[in-house]
Chains A and B, each alone.
With several copies, the nearest count.
Chain A
Amino acid sequence: MPSFVPTTARERDEMLRAIGAASVDDLFRDIPAEFRNPQLDVPPGLSELEALRHLRQLAEQNLDLDHHPSFLGAGAYRHFTPSIIGHLVTRGEFLTSYTPYQPEVAQGTLQSMYEWQSLVCELTGMDVSNAAVYDAATGVGEAARMACAVTRRKKVLVAESVNPFYREVLRTYGGGPGIEIQPVHAWWRAKGDKDAPLTRVEDLAQYVDETVACLIIQNPNFLGWLENVDGLAERLAGKGAILVVVTDPACLGLLRPPGAYGAGIVVGEGKWTGGPVDFGGPQVGMFACKSDYVRQLPGRIVGATVDHDGNRGYVLTLATREQHIRREKATSNICTSEALIALCTTIYLCHLGKQGLREVAEQCVQKSHYLADQIAALDGYAVLSGGPYVKELVAKCPRPAAEINRALLERGIVGGFDLGRYSDVLSDCLLLCCTEVTTRQEIDQLAAALKEIG
């Protein structure tokens, strides 16, 4: 087994002598003997070569999506990750530094966080952003807590068209301080000749009264559709409630930013625009809000300032919100966050830039609609239309979605998200995702397979 401990036996003995201890054991004398030296049931150590072999073997037991068409999205999206990202973020200076507590030797991390905050503000159309939270799901939880703190209310409405995993986390987060989480139903209605469900957040406003801290919606929603948000924020504001919007930065390359329709807090998942799907983690939550709420923001915030010579520099700031200063009065307990993933996303957004991110969104739109056309043309299948969509669509299948997925997998295709897991009424529906990495050939292959299966 390798050891990353440099100390040789001889050095250890010399060090013990300097300390004045007889043995290493001696240093542990504060621990009652009965508890010392547990015999661990752990296998013997591995050399680097053995470890790599073992892990490669495990990795290869997974079906990797570089080699199989996949139409899974549902909260984790395959966008292209430019090669530069991995090379830059694994530079030891970024990889092996701590949260930037000593600004003079952490300007690299601090400035890149300031850039992240700026990018998030630009994308979302909000005033301020923090230096990220764990992920969008916990971001939703933090947003609910923050809205309650801002409004001094305890009731949170959440649209059922929000990602169900986010809603589960929201429930967990809300539980503690007794926040009442009220799911508000999404409406299902027929539209045209299709038996199409459509979520109508505009109707949600009717649930809003003076006890409500916020309404949380997702846009595009979990089913991929754009919500009709016109006037929503205003109606909430009329009751003193905040509109919280969960969104997707890739879609924001094209869509109007939540700030433009009155969001008070915006949460987004930043991971997929900057890194691969990674079995779902680490992620990184974008978290932005109106400037009025800045002192209630959870997490780290970086600000620009100057040194004595007037040089621009960056520091962690507004720390009086934070646990290390305010302890039980802190806005959140967040300490270590997801800085390196935020850096990936920061680099991604700079690399893609203004034009590139828009193209990503546009290609998502074109490809998902091309897929929709192929599916619509298949006997027994239909595309449910609940609104405009960017990268995800709901395909109604002639058989249970789970069966379709199984049959697709037999053909080497990873199908879509089985919406039966989301809602009983959708158990014959697949949520299918296309992004710029989906090829026409893969779409055609899927369509052909669906036809065969259907």
Chain B
Amino acid sequence: MVRAKSEPLIFEKSVPGRRAGVLPPLDVPAKPLEELIPTAEQRTSLRLPEVSELDVVRHFTRLSKRNFSVDGEFYPLGSCTMKYNPRVDENVASMPGFRQLHPLQPEETAQGALRVLYELERLLGEITGLPGVSAQPVAGAHGEFTGILVARAAHEKQGRARHKVLIPDSAHGTNPATAAMVGYEAVTIGHDRRTGELDVEDFKSKLDEDCAAIMMTVPNTLGLFERQIAEICRLAHDVGCYVYCDGANMNAMVGQVRPGDLGVDLLHINLHKTFAVPHGGGGPGGGAICVTQALEPFLPAPVVGRRADGTYFFDHNRPDTIGRVHGFYGNFNAALRSYTYILMHGKEGLPEIGANAVLNANYLLSRLKGHYTPYVDRTCMHEFVLDGRSLREHGLKTLDLAKRLIDYGYHPPTIYFPLIVPEAIMIEPTETESRETLDAFADALIAIAQEARDHPELLHDAPHETPVGRLDEVRAARQPDLRWRADTSNVDGGGPNVEGRV
């Protein structure tokens, strides 16, 4: 409410000898410590903060107030699916039977947890039409990595050494980065400026038997369905190239269309997008990977199996596996949330997700037409992208519009992505927002368009009421100050730790 004053670093609140957490008294006979751990192995200083419990609570409460969030604000961040995260999932995830469960406990003492993983994987298989599922990857990019490794392993199994992965120019940065991490050359494919879809001719010209996979995003990052997807899959399969689908945009398809039916071979789902794991300021999420039956043997080990007697187990006997991609079984506690979310929606509820995500996006788009220019003027799926170049007439850019939205109490959309759209403004309302919210947001955007003409400085100087104004990002990168340092910190909090360069 009141403009938050600057909040010092917790280190700057430290007072020697002050304490919050204490332990029970030691209940075993204490031996001289140096007999157990040689003094040379012990540290001589530890500059952790020394604060009281109230210090901690107040500090992090105050920090939290410096965030926008779905719970407080409309957050139409394109490609991120900032939907409502049901609180019941938090209560499920905090049940002691799940929380106080060690990953290496005997399987017979973890049957409930194993069943959650098993059933979640079956549900995701059913929803995507790709029955081989592993919930081990912990994020979308991690799923991509896992998926491309699976593709490579499958090629290798068939004795095929391939070197290229095709990637549309509209793709998210994680796609090419993933291809490179797995050791592939990323080859870019253009898009059709008119339809906003993959340039199929360009694709055909680059597709050959050295292509391990094509990484499609469906709907694509313009929020458009790739109408040629089935054909693209056919063409790819003809040369033994796998079709990987970046499932970040799965929300549009839930219950409406199954990527597996379209011919996709592999797909990850960002459980933190489509299936409502709270984003947490950047994770934990889940990047479950779903593949065809043929690719199933290559999934990361262990996989969860179910015996004839109805008991569940970790199957480590997976000769073709790509190996582990996580220390244990992935973000179990996040998977639990998605499992609950899917079960609650059920057969009738799941299609409502896709239907209303698409309805909301198209409604919002319809409200903005005439005021803003869609990059491609078509029925969109769950999101759409505006071309913000008209702002330039007023000496402004998309960034200014984004910051001005903050003054109106909205989190800005995704901006400058996809890279192919000049001054991109990428808006994804999600299915959990109400029409009134969409209307109010459209009104704000329309008002801002007017402001851009009449009072461009309002955009240029925005945001006006946040605890900090626009920050000097160049200085942050040129003079990196990446940590507090005991020696140079200035307790008055008046400026950054400029001496603390690295």
Contacts and interface: CB of A to CB of B under 8 A. Distances in A.
Interface in A325-350: 325-330, 332-341, 343, 347, 349-350
Nearest to B53: A4
Given A31-B256, A352-B48, 19 more contacts: A28-B358, A44-B348, A51-B92, A59-B112, A83-B86, A84-B88, A93-B66, A97-B69, A97-B281, A108-B65, A123-B48, A128-B502, A226-B37, A277-B99, A281-B284, A318-B477, A323-B141, A350-B59, A414-B105
Contacts of A189: none
A174 to B, nearest CB: 10
Contacts of A62: 97-98, 101, 105, 109-113
Nearest to A171: B323
Size band of the interface chain A makes with B: 35 or more
The 10 closest A-B pairs by CB, nearest first: A280-B328, A92-B71, A45-B346, A59-B97, A280-B103, A340-B280, A61-B112, A137-B327, A282-B284, A339-B282
A327 B173 contact: yes
A448 interface: no
Interface string B1-25: 1100011011100111111111111
A94 B178 contact: no
Contacts of A55: 92, 95, 336, 340
A362 B22 CA distance: 13
Given A4-B52, A4-B53, A255-B37, A64 B100 contact: yes
B69 A95 contact: yes
Interface centre among B111, B324, B365 (most CB of A within 10 A): B324
A322 B279 contact: no
Contact of A414 (B109, B258, B435): B109
A98 B82 contact: yes
Interface stretch (A32-40, A193-201, A203-211, A235-243): A32-40
Interface in B321-342: 322-334, 336, 340, 342
B7 A52 contact: no
A160 interface: no
Nearest to A297: B482
Contact of B57 (A40, A92, A128, A280): A92
Q: Is the interface of B mostly helix, strand, loop or mixed?
A: loop
Interface string A67-80: 00010101110101
Given A62-B98, A278-B332, A327 B112 contact: no
A85 B362 CA distance: 33
B468 A313 contact: yes
A424 interface: no
Given A91-B64, A310-B495, A51 B343 contact: yes
Given A56-B95, A177-B181, A334-B141, A107 B327 contact: no
Contacts of B7: 111
B370 interface: no
Interface in B116-175: 116, 123, 126-127, 129, 138-142, 144-145, 148-149, 152, 172-174
Interface residues of B, number: 217
A400 interface: no
A33 to B, nearest CB: 10
Contact of B257 (A36, A41, A178): A36
A38 B23 contact: no
Contacts of B240: none
A246 to B, nearest CB: 11
B331 A5 contact: no
A277 B102 contact: yes
A439 interface: yes
A111 B482 CA distance: 11
21 contacts: A6-B52, A8-B15, A40-B127, A42-B342, A65-B101, A72-B105, A86-B91, A101-B414, A106-B66, A134-B326, A166-B327, A172-B149, A176-B148, A256-B44, A277-B101, A279-B113, A312-B468, A317-B476, A323-B173, A333-B141, A388-B36
A182 to B, nearest CB: 16
Contact of A27 (B65, B230, B270, B359): B359
A94 B284 contact: no
A386 B279 CA distance: 43
A191 to B, nearest CB: 16
A66 B10 contact: no
A78 B102 contact: yes
Nearest to A357: B48
Interface stretch (B202-210, B288-296, B349-357, B387-395): B349-357
A341 B100 CA distance: 16
Nearest to B502: A291
Nearest to A66: B100
Contacts of B43: 252, 254-257, 260
Given A1-B22, A72-B104, A64 B15 contact: no
B255 interface: yes
B367 to A, nearest CB: 7
A190 interface: no
Nearest to B60: A88
A358 B23 contact: no
Contacts of A83: 86-88, 90-91
A115 B148 CA distance: 35
Given A86-B94, A356-B20, A333 B101 contact: no
B42 to A, nearest CB: 6
Contacts of A121: 483
A425 interface: no
B282 A99 contact: yes
B230 A108 contact: no
B59 to A, nearest CB: 8
Contacts of B458: none
B451 to A, nearest CB: 18
Interface in B246-295: 255-258, 261-262, 270, 272, 278-285
Contacts of B177: 323, 326-328, 330, 332-333
Nearest to A125: B43
A52 B24 CA distance: 11
Contacts of B346: 1, 42-46
B468 A44 contact: no
A420 interface: no
Nearest to B99: A276
A112 B21 contact: no
A106 B317 CA distance: 45
A445 interface: no
B454 interface: no
B77 A101 contact: yes
B194 interface: no
Nearest to B260: A38
A438 B149 CA distance: 41
Nearest to B325: A172
A264 B179 CA distance: 27
Nearest to A98: B279
B129 A356 contact: no
Interface in A287-322: 291, 294, 300-315, 317-320, 322
A324 interface: yes
A414 B102 contact: yes
Given A7-B359, A172-B323, A414-B105, A97 B46 contact: no
Given A30-B227, A313-B468, A409 B37 contact: no
A409 B48 CA distance: 39
A409 B432 contact: no
A365 interface: yes
A77 to B, nearest CB: 9
Contact of A169 (B71, B102, B325, B367): B325
B491 interface: no
B70 interface: yes
A277 B98 CA distance: 9
Interface string B74-94: 010100101111111011101
Given A106-B67, A277-B103, A305-B496, A98 B467 contact: no
A40 B95 contact: no
